[in-house]
Amino acid sequence: MNKPALSRESVLDAALALADREGLPAVTVRRLAGEFGVTPMAMYWHFANKDELLAAMGQAVLFELEVQAEASFSELLRGLVTVLRKHPAAVSLVPTQMFATSQGLQVTERALALLAELGFSVGEAANIARTAMDLCVMLVVGEPGREIGMDECEREKHLAGKLAAIRGLSAEQYPHVLAAAEPLTGVGDAEEFYRSSVELFVAGVEARAFALR
């Protein structure tokens, strides 16, 4: 439990780590101050207020993103997903910071360029690019069976409860839901889940582009 010096960067690191450990609601001005052995008000030298802290956390997540100039659409999205998955609890802070960070602007730029090549209008391309990036966020935030802020044991109980609830359903009314109980409550292979979800979206984009001709 070594305490690095208080600075914008060290606070941001601590905030992301805390979020990943105990969930975003655990990220509190007072709590962070406590971790640094410092008064809550010390934070207000480094951040105007908590909103600025949260915004900076969203930007910090995006900071690790590397956008290849020649990346394909699915490479772009997979790269984004990979970065987002490193800080699952902070991912919900990312969408608002997309245009506030050079990495976010770079993915957007590349995505728009690819969509223009495919023949989409500026407006269509903008909508698709936005939706694509929000999709990545959503996949990570909503990854089945990855509710954060609980330890392994607690999570298992929670998951077992959800499974049991579905198992108790009427087989006449919800046959498919019952048959899909496990894959609905927990994701089997996370890599496969992300890969195929991204591919599905890209397939839609390509099908739509083809229909434009």
Q: Can residue 148 be called a binding residue for its own copies (CB under 8 A)? A: no
Contact 145, 186 (CB under 8 A): yes
Q: Can residue 89 be called a binding residue for its own copies (CB under 8 A)? A: no
List all residues 6 or more positions away from 72 whose beta carbon is below 8 Å from its beta carbon: 114
CB of 83 to DNA, least distance (A): 26
Nearer to DNA, 39 or 72 (CB): 39
List all residues 6 or more positions away from 19 whose beta carbon is below 8 Å from its beta carbon: 26, 27, 57, 87, 89, 90
Site string for DNA, 21-60 (x = CB under 7 A): -------xxxx------xxxxx-xxx--xxx---------
Give the C-alpha separation, 46 to 11, whole Å. 9
Nearer to DNA, 44 or 193 (CB): 44
Nearer to DNA, 28 or 92 (CB): 28
Contact 95, 62 (CB under 8 A): no
Q: Can residue 10 be called a binding residue for DNA (CB under 7 A)? A: no
Give the C-alpha separation, 141 to 88, whole Å. 7
DSSP character at residue 95: G
# residues near DNA by CB under 7 A: 17
Which stretches of the chain bind its own copies, using CB under 8 A?
A: 95, 99-100, 105, 108-109, 112-113, 116, 122-131, 134-135, 137-139, 142, 144, 162, 165-166, 169, 173-177, 179-180, 183-184, 187-188, 193, 196-197, 199-208, 211
